[in-house]
Structure 1
Amino acid sequence: MLTMPPPPRVRAAVLPLVPVLLVLVVLVMAVLPAGPARADQVRGSQRQVLRTLDVDAAWRVTRGAGARVAVLDSGVDPRHHDLVGSVVTGPDLTVGANPRGVAPRRLHGTYMASLIAGHGHGPGRSDGVIGVAPAAKVLSVRVILEDDERGFHDFNSEARYENVVARGIRYAVNHGADVINMSISKDQPTTQERAAIRYAISKGVVLVAAAGNDGAGRKDGPYSYPASLPGVISVAAADRGMHKASFSNRNSLVLLAAPGVDVLGAGPGDQYWVGRGTSQATALVSGVAALIKAKYPRMSPALVAQALATSATRRSSRGYDPGMGFGVVNAARALTEAARLARHRHIAAGPGVQDADLPMGAGVGTTPAPLAPVQVVRRDTGTVTLYGAVALVATACAVASLAVMVLLVRRARRRREDREHEEMPEPQAGWRQRAPT
């Protein structure tokens, strides 16, 4: 059993707030640092999650060799003994937010990377954290700060950091990413982020993002971005019983779920952490997507998403549920479904296809034309009110007329019955009624 010291204050994942971007929300609900623990305890603590994902069966097909997963996050510690040799460090797009000489903490990013591509260590790599795709490579792109980094406030308040996620997506695509993991969330996307996501999909890159952790006490919503943008796989968190975790957002764009409660992963400096959130669930799904892309590197993002959704387990009796999507991801079943889909092609190409690097409707290879002004139709509220009043009066008159007609019909019927009663002969004296024989 994993031993832990007395829990410190609860930590949250860090995501930036910037002007115009609205609010970026936290994605790790409670992350607690693990104390000294034997490596076999670490692997044992992963057992339930790995069993739920059915990775042992999936690894008989592929362990992710050849796939590259970009982790757009707070940075990854490339020296962690469960990740060493598997991490390529890309740019730090938050440069200038922290004071000069302050090193990034890289907690959240290391945690996510280990769930995707941790390979363990020790004899036979049987110790430490094992990721879903342990043979895959990680491309680390730093686009957020941890909440306790000194530059957190500046990063959240300066407009120059507004489009770091969009820049990170484009960098990842241009440097060979097959899958982009975005365990981040915010209220609204920017135009540049929408364009970057179109660009990534046009290049065959699978995008996976967190559905968000604001669902506690809500029947529906909210929608979080980039998870809710078209083409992005939106991932919810499941609890240990494989039901929707209480904090996980519930909306109609959730595609599927993965374990997101009490998930163990690696932290910087050879540490291990336990936490919960849609961040962790997203990383696990990115790992499964990496297995698919390793086996079928030319498979389009749409078909990868179809393989993940069609093969999910714990599916709702209705087929789909806004809290859990099409069910809980299963690595082995996803690879089987991907094998069936691999012979198909699901991507637009050739003459007439929209250039993903241009705004929608600009045409092929042309300079974007200025957008036409939006026509605003102003309705005459006075006329609408008048017509509504006339309709109400007409309806009232029709009801009154119907009531009068019913009353007249009943009165006529009553008069006819009275006349018939008056015309009947009075019985004469001496008449006797005979009983029928």
Structure 2
Amino acid sequence: MTGVLESLSVPEAWSLARGTGVTVAVLDSGVDAGQPDLAGSVTAGPDYTRGANPAGVAPKRLHGTNMASIIAGHGHGPGGADGMLGVAPEARILAPRVILERDEPGFAEFTRADRYAGTIADGMRYAVDHGADVVNLSLGRTYPTRREREAVAYAIRRGVVVVAAAGNGGADRTARRGGHTEYSYPASFPGVVSVAAVDAEGRHADFSNRNSAVVVSAPGVQIIGAGPDGGYWIGDGTSPATAFVSGVAALIRSRHPGLAPALVTQAIVASARDRPARGYDLGVGFGRVDAYAALTASDALAGARMDGAGFPADRRFAADEPRPVRVVHRSGGLIVTYVIVCALAVLGLAAAGARLRPGGRTEEESADVLGA
């Protein structure tokens, strides 16, 4: 793990911040608060999956513990020299349980029952209301829900940075054929930092989704993380990549408390390394995250004067301006363009309606809630 942190300039970043005073909400399958590398740093939130598993079955909490250790593992033993060090080792973890592991006995019930349809949205709102500075979503599904979109907006309005996995469908047949994977949610909602995965050489990982929602990338191949009961696991995915970026966001918020989510994102994007030749790529976004460079970039953004920029929060654009003059002349070209735009808008709404499925969730649609 040390080599991965060095590739992200994390040891250098620790000279500027280590995550003190920051809470990262890990919305996942739960976090083992007794894991030696996380002991004393975890607050367990509500279990929104309660009742899905049979009575007496304890939560597995593997995926969530793994992600939390990448974000805020502080090691153990004398001087913390043993075990797992995360990106922001002095950050705290808030851990609402919002999903089940795939091999938990209640997984089928969880994916099919309507009462569990809003667990991620509920967990996000809980995290915001209980002091989270960053929300880590190492999960996703292939269709959007209104409740999650509104929860994301709720978080961002209240100054919380939301980071989510771009998804692991990059190797699917349709993705290989078209070069563009389906969007993953919540990662593809506006304002979310969508994270793709790269290998040790910084190359796009084959499994990682490619789409225009991707913002940045981070290591996601053969990543070591802590597990429950003192174990350690190695795995691939955009899940660990997301955890790395959440850790960097935590360092920025530790150095600059209250820095707006958009500015945290700007610092991460502006300082990314291994940028694509054209500046942006569907597979890796604007490049691979760099912790030290991101903190340096955040210093400049935090010092920027914003006095007088834009309208006050209680005003709306053109609210007090004269009403626009009506233009009577309409050329044939303008009318045709207007008709085409309206037609495209109607088609877009129809397509969106086809993707937003009310009511229950099928197993196929819900299965990718975990496994980002």
Do these two structures clear the TM 0.5 threshold for a shared fold by scoring above it?
yes
Report how far residue 325 of structure 1 moved.
0.5
- Provide the rounded CA distance (Å) in 2 between the counterparts of 1:272 and 1:353: 52
Partner amino acid for 2:298?
A
Please show how residues 142-161 of structure 1 align to structure 2 within 5 Å. 142-161=97-116
Counterpart of 2:47 in structure 1 is: 92
- Provide the rounded CA distance (Å) in 2 between the counterparts of 1:101 and 1:347: 56
Counterpart of 1:132 in structure 2 is: 87
Report how far residue 123 of structure 1 moved.
1.1
Report how far residue 192 of structure 1 moved.
1.1
Counterpart of 2:196 in structure 1 is: 236
Report how far residue 148 of structure 1 moved.
1.0
Please show how residues 372-411 of structure 1 align to structure 2 within 5 Å. none
1:291 to 243, 246, 251: 251
Partner amino acid for 2:105?
R
1:60 to 15, 26, 41: 15
1:351 to 314, 322, 329: 314
Please show how residues 17-28 of structure 1 align to structure 2 within 5 Å. none
In structure 2, the gaps of 5 or more residues are 318-341, 345-372
- Provide the rounded CA distance (Å) in 2 between the counterparts of 1:213 and 1:62: 31
Partner amino acid for 1:77?
D
Report how far residue 75 of structure 1 moved.
0.1
> Are 2:202 and 1:255 equivalent residues in the alignment?
no
SS at match of 1:269: helix
CA deviation profile, 1:210-244 (whole Å, cap 9, x unmatched): 00000015211221110010000000000121100
Counterpart of 1:199 in structure 2 is: 154
Please show how residues 271-420 of structure 1 align to structure 2 within 5 Å. 271-344=231-304, 345=306, 350-352=313-315
Give me the CA root mean square deviation.
1.7
Partner amino acid for 1:328?
R
Partner amino acid for 2:248?
V
Report how far residue 47 of structure 1 moved.
2.1
SS at match of 1:160: helix
Report how far residue 348 of structure 1 moved.
7.5
Report how far residue 329 of structure 1 moved.
0.4
Counterpart of 1:208 in structure 2 is: 163
Cα separation, partners in 2 of 1:266 and 1:377, compared to 1, 3 Å: closer
Counterpart of 1:47 in structure 2 is: 2
Partner amino acid for 1:320?
Y
Report how far residue 350 of structure 1 moved.
2.2
Counterpart of 1:175 in structure 2 is: 130
CA deviation profile, 1:44-75 (whole Å, cap 9, x unmatched): xx122111111111000010000100000000
If asked which structure has higher relative contact order (CA below 8 Å, sep 6+), I would say: 2
Partner amino acid for 1:107?
L
In structure 1, the gaps of 5 or more residues are 1-45, 355-375, 379-437
- Provide the rounded CA distance (Å) in 2 between the counterparts of 1:220 and 1:68: 34
Whichever of the two has the greater Rg, that structure is 1
Partner amino acid for 1:241?
E
Query: Would you say how many aligned residue pairs link Structure 1 and Structure 2?
Result: 312
> Are 2:39 and 1:79 equivalent residues in the alignment?
no
Counterpart of 1:268 in structure 2 is: 228
- CA contact under 8 A between 1:300 and 1:347: conserved in structure 2? no
* Divergent runs of 4+, >4 A: 345-349
Cα separation, partners in 2 of 1:353 and 1:82, compared to 1, 3 Å: farther
Counterpart of 1:383 in structure 2 is: none
- Provide the rounded CA distance (Å) in 2 between the counterparts of 1:348 and 1:132: 37
- Provide the rounded CA distance (Å) in 1 between the counterparts of 2:48 and 2:117: 11
Partner amino acid for 2:196?
A
CA deviation profile, 1:234-290 (whole Å, cap 9, x unmatched): 000001211000000001110000000010000000000000100000000000000
Counterpart of 1:245 in structure 2 is: 205
CA deviation profile, 1:292-332 (whole Å, cap 9, x unmatched): 00111111110100100110111111111110001100000
Cα separation, partners in 2 of 1:349 and 1:87, compared to 1, 3 Å: farther
> Are 2:211 and 1:222 equivalent residues in the alignment?
no
What TM-score, normalized to structure 2?
A: 0.82
- Provide the rounded CA distance (Å) in 1 between the counterparts of 2:92 and 2:112: 33
Cα separation, partners in 2 of 1:85 and 1:252, compared to 1, 3 Å: same
SS at match of 2:292: helix
Report how far residue 107 of structure 1 moved.
0.3
| More divergent stretch after superposition (46-55 vs 179-188) | 46-55
Report how far residue 189 of structure 1 moved.
1.7
SS at match of 2:27: strand
Partner amino acid for 2:216?
L
- Provide the rounded CA distance (Å) in 1 between the counterparts of 2:343 and 2:170: 36
**What percent identity do the matched residue pairs reach?**
57
